Amino acid sequence: MSITLFLPFLFGVVFFVAVARTAFNRPRRRKIDSVIPFVRKLDVSELEVLMDAGEEWSLRHFLTEDAFRLAQHERIRLVGEYLRRVAHNASVIQLWMSGEYEPIKHKDRDKLSEKEALILELLQIATELRIYSMGALLKVWFWKMFRVDRWPARLVPGLTDLRVTCGVNVCDKYRQLTQIASALSGTYGQSCQEKLLSAL
């Protein structure tokens, strides 16, 4: 297939995917009650350990090459799963916050209440985390696609590099996200706050 024919074909596929994703998966504004059942449990300290430079150094130096490759394959799969959860939770919270942001979007920034300022901050963090997870998941997808775990041991990429992508430190940002989300859910009542905290 020549470039003349490939170009409209490529544009067509990208166009219909973009339209289908927008039309059939239309975002529905979420209230706090519909956020809690949809978020996925994620222990950020486990993700932190997975991306820890010391942990990876130990694996590289104390395991045999084959054992390291095997371990890294599992770790890549695991980090992919964690990142998907980060992306999912950030997306759910972004939708929740988009609804909350709508009535205050034209309000004077100096006259915002504490709750409204938190809404803005949480929306920003959720958007940042979505951008981060897109970049990081692309990397993980590439690693899986090219089976980097089968490459020579010193060429096998480290998970530590994923910790900061697009200028975002995922562990710090995710902690911020959960803290602010928890603080905001507190305005809906103690039980909401507890439920959201245990769900995130």
3-state secondary structure of 164: strand
Q: Which is nearer to other proteins, 73 or 88 (CB)?
A: 88
Q: How far apart are CA 7 and CA 104, in angstroms?
A: 43
Q: Which is nearer to other proteins, 126 or 156 (CB)?
A: 126
Q: How far is the CB of 57 from other proteins (least distance, A)?
A: 25
Is 182:193 a contact under the CB 8 Å cutoff? yes
Q: How far is the CB of 91 from other proteins (least distance, A)?
A: 8
Residues that bind other proteins (CB under 8 A): 2, 4-5, 7-9, 11-12, 14-15, 18-19, 21-23, 25-27, 94-95, 98, 102, 105-109, 120, 124, 127-128, 130-131, 166-168
Q: Which is nearer to other proteins, 12 or 189 (CB)?
A: 12
Q: How far is the CB of 98 from other proteins (least distance, A)?
A: 5
Q: How far apart are CA 123 and CA 6, in angstroms?
A: 39
Is 129:173 a contact under the CB 8 Å cutoff? yes
Q: How far is the CB of 66 from other proteins (least distance, A)?
A: 37
Q: How far is the CB of 105 from other proteins (least distance, A)?
A: 6
Residue 163 gets which letter from DSSP? S
Q: Which is nearer to other proteins, 165 or 193 (CB)?
A: 165
Which sign, positive or negative, has the C-alpha torsion 173, 176, 181, 182?
positive
Is 167:145 a contact under the CB 8 Å cutoff? no
Q: Which is nearer to other proteins, 2 or 45 (CB)?
A: 2
Beta-carbon contacts of 111 under 8 Å, excluding residues fewer than 6 positions away, are: none
